[in-house]
């Protein structure tokens, strides 16, 4: 059994791109992912699952068709399944995303921002 702590800052230091989530841990059939984001993502939703965002550094807007939520460092939010949302980071933001294994970052939308799934660091 692996007995190594997973250091979030160390793992984030390995990421040099935007919108490409890396898996760092699994719990049952859920995955913990780290991702750096900057700019506007695409409108999408995840019909079958909620999705959790935790801001490690920076600030993230999650826009909805009506209204938005702004997450600062040390804040989290769970986007309910089926709710259309668009993450927007005005400056680079470092995130942890938690969701079931197999969930694609752009949900129901194909996009040039659709990232390869299940990439570990």
Binding site for its own copies (CB under 8 A): 1, 3-9, 24-28, 30, 32, 49-52, 64, 67-72, 74-78, 80-81, 83, 98-100
- Cβ closer to its own copies: 25 or 113? 25
- Cβ closer to its own copies: 39 or 70? 70
Q: Closest approach of Cβ 57 to its own copies, in Å? A: 11
Asked whether the beta carbons of 47 and 3 are under 8 A apart, the reply is no
Q: Closest approach of Cβ 116 to its own copies, in Å? A: 23
Please report, for residues 4, 16, 17, the alpha-carbon distance to residue 79 in angstroms, rounded to integers and kept in the order given: 30, 26, 24
Quickly count: other Cβ atoms within 10 Å of residue 67's Cβ: 7
Q: Closest approach of Cβ 120 to its own copies, in Å? A: 14
Please report, for residues 32, 35, 43, 65, 111, the alpha-carbon distance to residue 56 in angstroms, rounded to integers and kept in the order given: 13, 10, 23, 25, 26
- Cβ closer to its own copies: 12 or 106? 12
């Amino acid at each position: 059994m692996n007995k190594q702590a997973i250091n979030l800052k160390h793992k984030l230091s390995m990421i040099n791109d935007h919108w490409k989530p890396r898996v760092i841990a699994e719990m049952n059939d859920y995955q913990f992912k780290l991702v750096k984001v900057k700019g506007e993502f695409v409108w999408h939703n995840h019909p079958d699952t909620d999705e959790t965002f935790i801001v490690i550094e920076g600030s993230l807007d999650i826009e909805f068709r009506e209204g938005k939520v702004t997450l600062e460092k040390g804040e989290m939010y769970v986007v309910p399944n089926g709710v259309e949302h668009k993450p927007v980071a005005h400056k680079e933001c470092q995130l942890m995303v938690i969701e079931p294994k197999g969930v694609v970052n752009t949900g129901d939308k194909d996009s040039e921002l659709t990232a390869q799934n299940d990439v570990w660091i």
